[in-house]
C-alpha cells in the first residue's frame, strides 16, 4: 500500500522528509542523474536502518529479543510503515534513474546509427566502380548468344538433312 505525502509527514522526522520529499513528482523529474544516485544511496541507508529497527520491534513484540531504545521509533507498525515509506521513495528514485539511463542509451544508439549511416554514405560516394552491367530486373530477358550467327536459311538446312536421309536409305537397301 502506498503512502501519500501527508502520511509520510506522520511517520518521518523533518530531516527524513527533506530526503524523501524530492522523490515525488514533479520534483523527481527535475533531478539530474547524479543527484538521483546520491539520493538513492542515502535512501538505501535509511531504508536498511528502518528495516533493522522494524525487525527488532517484531522480535520484541514476540518476546524473542531484548527491548532496544524503547519508544524511540514508536511501535512495530510505526517502524514497518517508516520502512515502507523509504522503500517507496527508493522505488520512485530507481525508476526515474532507469528512465534517464534508458533515454541516454537510446540517444547513444541513435547517434551511433547516424554516424554509421554517414560513413556508409561517404564511402558509397567515394566509390569509383563501373555499373553492374546487364542483369535481370523485372523478369528475365534473353541474353544474346555469343556463337556466330546462322548464315543458312532454315529451308536449306531441311533440304540438306533430307538428302542425307535419302542417301543413307539407298545404301541400306543396296546392302
Q: Note down pLDDT in tens along the chain; length 175 residues.
A: 577 777 788 888 889 999 999 999 899 999 999 999 999 999 999 999 999 988 988 888 888 877 776 555 567 888 889 999 999 999 999 999 999 999 999 999 999 999 999 999 998 888 777 666 766 566 666 777 777 777 788 888 889 999 999 999 999 999 7
The reported pLDDT for the residue numbered 136 is 58
* Whole-number Cα distances in Å, 32 to 28, 38, 166: 9, 10, 103
The reported pLDDT for the residue numbered 70 is 58
The strand pairing partners of 137, in sequence order, are 139
Cell numbers placing 122: 561517404
DSSP annotation of 26 reads T
The pTM of the full predicted model, rounded to 2 decimals, is: 0.61
Is residue 149 classed as helix, strand or coil in its secondary structure? coil
**Helix or strand run (H / E) with residue 79:** helix 76-126
Domain definitions of the chain by residue range: 5-121
Q: By C-alpha distance, which of 39, 7, 1 is closest to 20?
A: 39
Cell numbers placing 120: 556508409
Is residue 54 classed as helix, strand or coil in its secondary structure? helix
The reported pLDDT for the residue numbered 71 is 56
Q: Which residues contact 1 (CB under 8 A, 6 or more apart)?
A: 84
The reported pLDDT for the residue numbered 9 is 81
Amino acid at each position: 500500500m502506498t503512502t501519500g505525502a501527508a502520511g509520510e509527514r506522520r511517520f518521518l522526522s523533518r530531516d527524513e522528509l527533506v530526503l524523501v520529499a524530492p522523490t515525488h513528482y514533479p520534483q523527481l523529474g527535475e533531478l539530474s542523474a547524479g543527484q538521483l544516485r546520491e539520493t538513492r544511496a542515502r535512501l538505501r541507508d535509511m531504508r536498511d536502518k528502518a528495516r533493522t529497527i522494524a525487525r527488532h520491534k517484531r522480535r520484541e513484540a514476540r518476546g524473542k529479543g531484548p527491548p532496544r531504545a524503547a519508544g524511540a521509533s514508536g511501535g512495530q507498525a510505526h517502524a514497518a510503515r517508516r520502512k515502507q515509506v523509504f522503500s517507496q521513495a527508493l522505488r520512485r528514485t530507481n525508476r526515474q534513474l532507469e528512465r534517464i539511463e534508458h533515454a541516454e542509451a537510446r540517444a547513444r544508439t541513435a547517434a551511433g546509427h547516424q554516424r554509421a549511416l554517414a560513413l556508409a554514405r561517404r564511402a558509397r560516394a567515394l566509390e569509383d566502380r563501373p555499373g553492374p552491367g546487364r542483369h535481370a530486373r523485372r523478369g528475365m530477358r534473353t541474353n544474346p548468344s555469343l556463337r556466330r550467327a546462322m548464315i543458312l536459311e532454315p529451308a536449306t538446312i531441311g533440304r540438306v538433312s533430307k538428302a542425307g536421309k535419302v542417301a543413307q536409305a539407298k545404301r541400306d537397301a543396296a546392302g
